[in-house]
Amino acid sequence: MNQHKGLKVRMLAAGSILFAFYAALVGLAIAIWGVDIWPIAIAITAFFGVFQYIMGKKMALWSVGAKDLDENDYYQIHAAVERMSQEMGIKKPRVMKAEMGVPNAFAVGRKGAGVVVISEELMRILNQEELEGVIAHELAHIRNRDVVMMVIGQSIASMIGIAVYFLTVMGNRNIGAMITGWILSAIAQTIVMIFVLAISRYREYVADADAAEVIGRGEPLARALEKISNAGQNAQVDERVNALCIFGGGDKSLLESVFSTHPPTEERIARLRSY
C-alpha cells in the first residue's frame, strides 16, 4: 500500500503551522497574565484540545443520529469492512448508519478506534461494488490519520477564535465591541483553517487512490461519486461533518472553491477512471 509521502509532507507542514498558532496563543496568555501563568495556560489549552478531539468525534456522530449497523442485517457490508481493514493493516472500525438527507459517508477517529458512518440514502442508491469503493475511501482516511489532523486543526482554529473574541471585548463589553470581536474571531478562525483546508482537498485524492488500489480499480468509486453527486447537488450536509464526508456539495463559485473542503468531483472521477 502506497504510504503517500506527499500527504505526509503536507500534514507535517500544516501541523507545524498549527503548532505555531498554538504556541502563539500560549505566548499571548503568558504576555497578558505573566510568566507564572504559563503552566496553567498550557494545561488549559491542552485540555481544550483533547476535549475538542473527543467531543468532535461524538458530536459528529450525534449530529447525524448515527446508530450501529446490524451485522446480521448487513452482513455483506461488515464482511467487506473486515476484509479491506485487514488489507490496509488497521483494526476493523465500528460501522454505523444514519439518515443524513443525502447519500454520503464519513469516517472519524484513529486507527485503533475508528468509526465509519454510511447514510441509509447511500445504501439505497449504490450496488455492493460501488458501496465497497466508498467504504475503502473512508477506511483510507482512518489509515492515513488525516481525520485526526482535521479535528486537531478545527480545534486550534476554535481556540484562536475564542481568544481573539475575548481579547477584543476585554474591558469593553458593549454591543459594538462584541460585534467587532465576533467578526475578528471569524477572520482569525478562517486564516487558521486555510492551512487545514489545503490538506482536506488533497487528502480526498489520496483516499480515492487508496480505495482504487484496495478494490483493484477506480471505476466502482467513480460511479459511486457520480450517483452521489447527482443525488446530492442541492442537498446540505450538517456543517459539523461536511468536511469529513466523501461528498462536500455541488457546484461552487470560484471563491467557494478556494475555501472548499473537497476538490471538484469531476476531477476526482477523471482521476479514478485513469487508475
For 28-69, what is each residue's pLDDT tens digit?
767 766 666 667 766 776 776 677 667 778 888 888 899 999
Going across the sheet that includes 94-98, the strands are 67-68, 94-98, 115-119, 105-108
* Cα separation, 77 vs 75, whole angstroms: 6
The pLDDT value given to residue 254: 47
In whole angstroms, how far apart are CA 141 and each of 134, 206, 210, 219? 11, 9, 9, 19
pLDDT in tens, 215-260: 999 999 999 999 998 886 555 555 555 656 766 654 454 445 555 6
The pLDDT value given to residue 100: 85
Of the candidates 102, 92, 106, which has an alpha carbon nearest to the alpha carbon of residue 57? 106
For the chain, what are the domain ranges?
Answer: 5-272
138 included as an active-site residue: yes
Pairing of strands 67-68, 94-98: antiparallel
Report the chain's mean pLDDT, rounded to a whole number.
Answer: 81
Q: Which of 138, 204, 213, 256 is catalytic?
A: 138
Please state which of the ranges 49-53, 158-162, 183-187 shows the lowest mean pLDDT. 49-53
Range of 63-77, 165-179, 186-200, 259-273 with top mean pLDDT: 63-77
Range of 118-127, 147-156, 166-175, 184-193 with top mean pLDDT: 118-127
* Radius of gyration of the CA atoms of the chain, in A: 20
* Cα separation, 101 vs 108, whole angstroms: 19
Instruction: Provide, rounded to the nearest whole percent, the portion of the chain with pLDDT above 90.
Output: 35
In whole angstroms, how far apart are CA 245 and each of 14, 102, 153, 229, 262? 21, 11, 16, 12, 9
The pLDDT value given to residue 240: 53
